[in-house]
Amino acid sequence: MNRRRLLVPLLLVMALVGAACGADDEEASTATTSGEGTSTTVAAPEFAAGTTMAALQDKGKIVVGTKFNQLGSGQKNPTTGEVEGFDVEIAKLIAIGIFGGTLDDIGDKIEFKETVSGIREAVIQGGDVDIVAATYTINDNRKKQVDFAGPYVIDGQTVMVKSDNDTIKALTDLTGKKVCSGTGSTTPDNLKAKQVTPSELVLRATYPECADELRQGRVEAVVTDRGILIGLVAASSRAFKLVDIDVSEEPLGIGLKKGDDAFREFLNTRLEEIYASGEWADAYERTLGKLGLKTPEPPAVNKYASTGTATTLATTTIPASTTTAAGASTTTTAGGGSTSTTTSADGSPSTSRP
Amino acid sequence: MQFVLDNRGLFFDGMRTTASLTLLSFAAALVVGAVVAAFRISPIPPLRWVGATYVGLVRNTPLAVLIVLFFNGFADAGIIVQSRYLSAVIVLSAYTGAFVAETLRAGVNAVARGQGEAARALGLTFPQVLTVVVLPQAVRTVVGPLGSIFIALIKNSALAALISVQDISGVTEQLITTTGDYIPLFAAAAAAYLALSLPAGFAVSRLERRLAIKR
């Protein structure tokens, strides 16, 4: 049993090493042929005085809040000390839009600061960071405190079953089945929101334990983030597979200071640029793609109108008791036992405890 | 706080599960403990070794490890207990049984050597010596320590939540994701445990006084 437990981290390490090697190759090739289809040197654009972009150019550096412990999105490589992942790549591409340069040298102009889920609003409001790209789900609650550019990707939870299972094809098939997820995950809320009632919802401390339950036939499905499940599938030697079900949709955006509309406009435009140039897809392929996720279509950015208060999307029923204090935790406040329909959604709903 | 009150039904269910888990496991642990203690003090060396090995292994392994090892690990070896609750009862009683055994052994050692010798001189067999003469005296001296083991078991049973048994801890962990309000939920969990363990402690001290050997 121990050997199998070790397998998952081992595979992840191998994936990381592989990614690192890939990056080296790329570097070598850019030196000679100035890169193939990736970023070529971009000249620094001119920005109107007084904008955040101009201020950043003057400072010569952008501070980005990201996660340091989320494989594929933002993780500090223990050997190199570099932060790696999709969020990191997006931040680099944005920085190129401000300072010019290439993917290889833009790292000098970015300072990554570890930003865990609970402090994301606080570091934006306090000015500790210029932007946050940390699997940061866009939702109305958060829009009261910060603004979002993007979404730059739609993440979400999905379903893993045994490879020979052909009875679970849709989310509703989970009703009456035994389902496993992680202790502290938002899966129970997500399932409730979609009116799915498993016969038993098993919560285990780690996901390999859920994988055990699935293998031993104690549960029929495991529900959590795609990024986590893809790692378990990879480690299962084809015993498990993912089912094409979206349990929840988490539009991930870039957090910035509320009311800085010119900056938000710039970020949105820049995202559209990297969608069109293919740099977005390249970034996905060399990070989340390496874990086995298919590169999706880039999502349309939401250039919502600037408002003093949150824009209402009408689908959510969040009690008004949401705290407004800076740095307050962003977990949903479900008053009166009614489960709020928004997930408490940091972008990594199931990996991190609230 | 309101959230806790709205879900009090779940908490009461959790308390019932914790209570039944504890009582069932303790009853089984007394049996396991008596058998192992008998092995430990038996005149037959191989039995003593078996008893010593059991206590040595089980008592010195963390309960959390045993619970997951039994539920997930043994399943790989073909021993699959489907019920999470039953798995928890088995491991809790096996674990607690080791402590009961050592406590009973200490109690037996506290019975004056002459008692056993006298019983043997009267022609009683070894099982008779134990059940009729030695154990009844031994148990009375260890009511207090056994009570402590029982209260420890109430709290140890929280680890059953590791395999998703819906006891007080399991219910708390399930609810925590909805609000993320740790303080009220865990305060409620602590209150629920106290509501079980404080009366248990009280009952033990009363029992101890009633059974005390008047000297």
What residues of chain A score a pLDDT lower than 50?
1-2, 18-37, 309-354
- Contact between chains at B82 and A354 (C-beta distance less than 8 A): no
Q: What is the mean pLDDT of each run of 10 residues along chain B (215 residues)?
A: 83 94 96 94 92 95 94 83 91 97 92 91 91 87 92 95 91 75 86 95 90 69
B175/chain A closest Cα distance in angstroms: 9
Q: Tell me the per-residue pLDDT of A263-299, one tens digit each, with 9 for 90 and over.
A: 999 999 999 999 999 999 999 998 888 877 888 888 9
A292/chain B closest Cα distance in angstroms: 28
pLDDT score at B18: 96
Residue numbers in B near A345 (CB within 8 A):
none
Q: Tell me the per-residue pLDDT of B30-41, one tens digit each, with 9 for 90 and over.
A: 999 999 999 998
pLDDT score at A11: 52
Residue numbers in A near B170 (CB within 8 A):
203
- Contact between chains at B68 and A184 (C-beta distance less than 8 A): no
Contact criterion met (CB below 8 Å) for A129 and A113: yes
CA distances from B193 to A299, B37, B99 (A): 49, 30, 21
Closest CA to A146 of A166, A165, A127: A127
- Contact between chains at B75 and A216 (C-beta distance less than 8 A): yes
- Contact between chains at B72 and A339 (C-beta distance less than 8 A): no
pLDDT score at A238: 85
**Which range marks the domain in which residue B43 is found?**
2-211
Which residue from A1, A201, A205 is facing B76, i.e. has the nearest CB? A1
pLDDT score at A10: 52
Which chain B residue has the Cα nearest residue A340?
B178
pLDDT score at A177: 93
**Cβ within 8 Å of residue A55, ≥6 positions away:** none
CA distances from A121 to A1, A9, A261, A308, A312 (A): 41, 31, 17, 16, 19
Which residue from B76, B164, B178 is facing A202, i.e. has the nearest CB? B164
- ipTM value for the complex: 0.74
| CATH code of the domain covering residue B49 | 1.10.3720.10
pLDDT score at A15: 53
The reply to whether the predicted model has a pTM over 0.80 is no
- For strands A157-162 and A178-182, give the pairing: unpaired
Sign of the CA dihedral with A231 first, then A234, A235, and A236 last: positive
pLDDT score at A5: 53
Angstrom distance (rounded) from CA A28 to CA A36: 11
Provide the number of structural domains found in chain B. Answer: 1
Residues B105, B108, B114: CA angle, nearest 5 degrees: 150
